[in-house]
Structure 1
Amino acid sequence: MLLKKENGWKNKDLEREKIFDFCQEYKTSLDLGKTEREYVRFGLELAKKNGFVCANSKERLEVGDKVYYVNREKNLVLVVVGKEDIKKGINYVVSHIDSPRIDLKQNPLYEELELAYMKTHYYGGIKKYQWASIPLSLHGVVILGNGERRDIIIGEKEDDPVFTIPDLLPHLAAKYQGDRQTSEVIKGEELQIIVGSIPTEVKNSEVKELIKYQILEELNRTYNMIEEDFISAEFQLVPAFKAKDIGLDRSLIGAYGQDDRVCGYTSLRAILDLNEVPVKTAVCFLADKEETGSHGSTGLQSNYLEYFTSDLINKIQGTYNDLDLRKTLWNSNALSSDVNAAMDPIFKGVHEPQNAAKLNYGIVVTKFTG
């Protein structure tokens, strides 16, 4: 099928193929980057393949140079130096790559009634009931007592075990959960994962919690961890599902983490695919902590934007002062690239149709939010 354009004709099937190929790459990014650390690693690998080098490796920057900055493995900044004087401004596109999830507490493991559990704390605005009775994978990093770092992912391979948060059977739930508000069908303190039920075979009178001990044995055997290592660990629980096409026509994508990795990926691709040196210096900033208020040293309330912008000014000009930074930021443009909700005919009442986003109408520009 051919569609008319202002400057000629285009093949609709070819355009469709390009869109589906792009979305296949996007789904891969979602599967490989289920945490902010993993997404930074994914983005950094793509950046290096596309000619970006570490900014710290360059004393001076010239027009057309491509560099990256990484902040605590949770922020990734990609820069293409433009033709204009940097003090005339930078074009920033900013997306966050953290998503609602469940974190393990610092002392999570316990045993009760012949089951081993781990205590959790939710991160971001989750609907807690959605996280019960589904397969969960564990992603994280731990620093062992000897200083060794271990990156751990359990539950993503086909033969991996997974974890789950138990829920009540329907005929037991009526009296216990029936009168609860929707937000409390599963309470925060009930978001605990099952991690085991087989007791250790160790015969030791001092070992009282046999199932917990068996879990610790497995962690030590596989990852060289001891219980105290949870203090230095950062473990996150996310759905173990892979990104999938939705619908018979495969027109939609269902996956964990699309808020806001859909914008993270498109922002990343936009700067990687720049074919010409831009007029203004271009920056793609993949940030952290948006789901909890953009706080901390990796959130947008930190001074990291000012830090790397100052470094850019110094390396481009060979000099730096505070006024140069203020001029650069004053003359810059920033696009906050985050998700919006399209109207669902089942829940039309939560939208104002005249100003709501709709499917198949292109990019959403949101002037008012919050």
Structure 2
Amino acid sequence: MDKKDFNEGLLGFLDASPTPFHATLNMSMMFENAGFIKLNEEEKWELEEGSKYYVTRNDSSVIAFTYPRDAKDYTMVGAHTDSPNLKLKPNPVIKEHGVVKFGVESYGGLLLNPWFDRDLSLAGRVSYLNSKGEIKDALIDAKKALAIIPSLAIHLDEKANKERTVNNQTDICPILTTSDDFEFEEFLKWQLSKVDVLDVKELYASELSFYDTQKASLVGLSDDFIASARLDNLLSCYVGMLSICSVDESKPMLFIASDHEEVGSESTSGASGSFLENTLRRMFADYDEYMQMIRTSTMISADNAHAIHPNFPSKHDANHAPHINKGSVVKVNANQRYASNSKTISKFMSVASELNEPIQQFVTRSDMGCGSTIGPITATRLGIETLDVGLPTFAMHSIRELCGSDDAHSLYKIILGFK
């Protein structure tokens, strides 16, 4: 696949995936189209040699794998489906001062200031009881700009350009309407009706997130950049998804996209949970075969990396400062916040060199902390040799992030180059 087609597909995937639930559904549809067979964790598995499979958990995490059976040296790619956002509280409606607004919580390490004055929509999962007494789930996406968080005018905040702080409880409630007639349950039923869910006896619970309605786009004089929400980490999800869809059944490969990385990964569908280990043990029920697979495989933990910001270069170690559109980034940390070691780095460098694809190194400044990834979690839980790589990004955890239009395609080619 050439870079143009790759990036066009990426833009579409970003726009269609406002929540982890939607991202997982879209990846599942891609796997179906590529001939992967859906598995259910609640059923007995009868895996057939030479087939390809996928399985989901919580509708927000997904694993896809080939099954050549005798080949155990898997190339695994790990990413995460979640991104920092504003999540709706269970009883969100606040009616005061002439407007209706929603109470929200910050999910993950959110950069709050960019959320002001943006056209916001709402998406996620709703659980309900139908007339048969069954509890069902449905995904909704309003798509329309429903809300906005207006800034306080500079006339009323003379320190706005000097000391702008944001209170998570009081300052970031999106406003929806001036009508006092608004009812949250009616709103949810209306959204459900748009996805043909009409049999709703009672609404139970929802997991809904606000998102920016501005579409992903190519930006720059020569389309140098890709600007979008949720690049961290749907960018890596797309690379991993496309990589495993591009190989045949004879190549041992696995892709996992886990939820809840931005809040520590400690959940049933997070990387600290059992999802990957459970799946691998069912693939290789014999313990010796399982351990052979673990010790001969490589996990590539793919997450975003901080590109050196041209306006804030002092925030980087000068010798380890990645540039946009200069290739994938190998992430190293002496305290094992990243799982890369000399063996896994060398393997990655060798493949990149054979393909003439550029790579870069990132080490955070010694007087600053670094972000976390699923790499060390997976390495610790499974004992698998792991490499942390990333794609250079500006404005990480903002409502709109920026990456290069060359780098993701380059990482895709490197992953396919692993033997």
Q: Measure, in 1, the Cα distance between the counterparts of 2:111 and 2:62.
A: 28
Shift of residue 123, structure 1, vs aligned partner: 0.5
Q: Measure, in 2, the Cα distance between the counterparts of 1:351 and 1:93.
A: 27
Q: Measure, in 1, the Cα distance between the counterparts of 2:189 and 2:3.
A: 46
Q: Counterparts in 2 of 1:221-300, with a 5 A limit?
A: 223=192, 229=203, 232-275=205-248, 277-278=250-251, 281-300=252-271
TM-score between the two structures when normalised by the length of structure 1: 0.80
Between stretches 349-358 and 324-333, larger displacement belongs to: 324-333
Distance of aligned partners of 1:171 and 1:290 in 2 relative to their CA distance in 1, 3 Å threshold? same
1:208 aligns with none
1:207 aligns with none
Q: Contact 1:119–1:193 at 8 Å: present in 2 too?
A: yes
Shift of residue 69, structure 1, vs aligned partner: 1.2
Unaligned runs of at least 5 residues, structure 1: 1-14, 201-211, 315-319
Q: Counterparts in 2 of 1:1-370, with a 5 A limit?
A: 18-56=2-40, 59-62=46-49, 64-82=50-68, 84-86=70-72, 89-146=73-130, 147-154=135-142, 156=143, 160-174=144-158, 180=163, 182=164, 184-200=165-181, 212-213=182-183, 217-220=186-189, 223=192, 229=203, 232-275=205-248, 277-278=250-251, 281-314=252-285, 320-321=286-287, 323-368=288-333, 369=338, 370=370
Shift of residue 37, structure 1, vs aligned partner: 0.7
SS in 2 for 1:339: strand
1:238-267 deviation digits (Å, cap 9, x = unpaired): 111110111131121100000011111011
Q: Measure, in 2, the Cα distance between the counterparts of 1:81 and 1:32.
A: 29
Paired AA for residue 82 in structure 1: P
Q: Measure, in 2, the Cα distance between the counterparts of 1:72 and 1:80.
A: 22
Distance of aligned partners of 1:297 and 1:221 in 2 relative to their CA distance in 1, 3 Å threshold? closer
Q: Contact 2:99–2:180 at 8 Å: present in 1 too?
A: no
Q: Measure, in 2, the Cα distance between the counterparts of 1:364 and 1:98.
A: 21
SS in 1 for 2:140: strand
Q: Contact 1:128–1:188 at 8 Å: present in 2 too?
A: no
Shift of residue 285, structure 1, vs aligned partner: 0.6
Shift of residue 122, structure 1, vs aligned partner: 0.7
1:10 aligns with none
Shift of residue 311, structure 1, vs aligned partner: 0.9
Q: Measure, in 1, the Cα distance between the counterparts of 2:299 and 2:114.
A: 34
Paired AA for residue 366 in structure 1: K
Shift of residue 28, structure 1, vs aligned partner: 0.4
Paired AA for residue 259 in structure 2: D
SS in 2 for 1:269: helix
Q: Measure, in 2, the Cα distance between the counterparts of 1:48 and 1:304.
A: 20
TM-score between the two structures when normalised by the length of structure 2: 0.71
Matched residues, number: 322
Q: Contact 2:66–2:249 at 8 Å: present in 1 too?
A: no
Q: Measure, in 1, the Cα distance between the counterparts of 2:186 and 2:36.
A: 43
Higher RCO (CA 8 Å, separation ≥ 6 residues): 1
1:91-150 deviation digits (Å, cap 9, x = unpaired): 211011111111001111121122111100011111111111111110012122433534
Q: Contact 1:96–1:289 at 8 Å: present in 2 too?
A: yes
Q: Measure, in 1, the Cα distance between the counterparts of 2:145 and 2:271.
A: 36
SS in 1 for 2:293: helix
Distance of aligned partners of 1:270 and 1:218 in 2 relative to their CA distance in 1, 3 Å threshold? closer
Distance of aligned partners of 1:219 and 1:362 in 2 relative to their CA distance in 1, 3 Å threshold? closer
Q: Contact 1:122–1:188 at 8 Å: present in 2 too?
A: no
SS in 1 for 2:170: helix
Paired AA for residue 338 in structure 1: D
What is the RMSD of the two structures over their aligned residues, measured on CA atoms? Answer: 2.5
Identity of aligned residues (%): 23
Paired AA for residue 140 in structure 2: I
Shift of residue 222, structure 1, vs aligned partner: 5.6
Between stretches 189-198 and 254-263, larger displacement belongs to: 189-198
Paired AA for residue 61 in structure 1: E
Bigger fraction of residues in helix = 1
Q: Contact 2:116–2:150 at 8 Å: present in 1 too?
A: yes
Q: Measure, in 2, the Cα distance between the counterparts of 1:333 and 1:41.
A: 26
2:397 aligns with none
Q: Contact 1:242–1:255 at 8 Å: present in 2 too?
A: yes
Shift of residue 330, structure 1, vs aligned partner: 3.3
SS in 2 for 1:127: coil
Q: Measure, in 1, the Cα distance between the counterparts of 2:113 and 2:15.
A: 23
Paired AA for residue 152 in structure 1: I
Q: Measure, in 1, the Cα distance between the counterparts of 2:319 and 2:169.
A: 37
Q: Measure, in 2, the Cα distance between the counterparts of 1:136 and 1:101.
A: 11
